[in-house]
Amino acid sequence: MQEFDYDDVKRRMDGAIEVLKEELGGLRTGRASTSLLEPITVDAYGSSMPLNQVGTIGVPEPRMLTVNVWDKSMVKAVEKAIMESGLGLNPQTEGQMIRVPIPELNEERRTELTKVAAKYAEQARVAVRNVRQDAMNTLKRQEKDGEMSQDEHKAWSEDTQKQTDAHIKLIDDVLATKEAEIMQV
C-alpha cells in the first residue's frame, strides 16, 4: 500500500515560490544586477539554455551590465534573447562583448515591470494549482484503488487545499512587496 506523500506536495509548492523569488530578483528596481539577466534563456546548440551557461555576466558600473559570450557564433542569439526578454533592454554588441545599458526607470517603465512581476506571480499560482490538482488526482486514485478510506481522502484533500491557499497567499504577499519596491521612486 502506497502512502500519500504530503511532504512532496508541500516541497513542490515551496519550489514554485522559490522560482518566483528568483524571477522577481531579476526584475530591476533601477540598479544593474546580474540577477536581471539570469532568468533569460538563449536558443543555443538546439536547446534552450540559461544565459549564464553561454557567457559571463558582469556589472562594470551601476547602470551597465555586460555579457561576455564564450562562443562567437552565439553572440546574435544572446543579443536576440536579451531584446525579446520583455525587460525593455537594448543590448549593444562589440565583438563577443554585449553591453546592456540599464535605462532610468520612468513611471511607464515601472508600470510595465509590475505587469511582468504579476505575470511571474500568476505562473507561480498556476504551478501551485497544478501541484494541488496532481495531489487531488493521486488521492482520488488511491481511494478508488482501496488504498485509503473516504475519511482519509477527505482529510488529505482538506490539508492539500489549506496548503494551496497558504502558498497562494504567500505568492500574493511576495508580489505586493516587489510591486512596492518597483514603484518606489
For residue 2, the model assigns a pLDDT of 58
3-state secondary structure of 100: strand
1 or 148, which is more confident: 148
Residues contacting residue 87 through CB under 8 Å, at least 6 positions apart: 26, 27, 28, 36, 40, 116
Cα radius of gyration (the chain): 21
CATH number of 31-101: 3.30.1360.40
Residues contacting residue 118 through CB under 8 Å, at least 6 positions apart: 175, 179
All cell numbers assigned to 1: 500500500
pTM: 0.66
Which residue from 132, 124, 109 is spatially nearest to 175, judged by alpha carbons?
A: 124
- pLDDT for 81-129, tens place per residue? 988 887 778 899 999 999 998 877 788 878 888 888 999 999 999 999 9
Strand locations in the chain (E): 41-44, 47-50, 55-61, 64-69, 92-94, 97-101
- pLDDT for 26-59, tens place per residue? 776 666 777 778 878 888 888 888 888 899 999 8
- Specify whether domain 6-23+106-183 bears CATH 2.60.40.10: no
Q: Provide the residue ranges of all domains of the chain, joining segments of one domain with +.
A: 6-23+106-183, 31-101
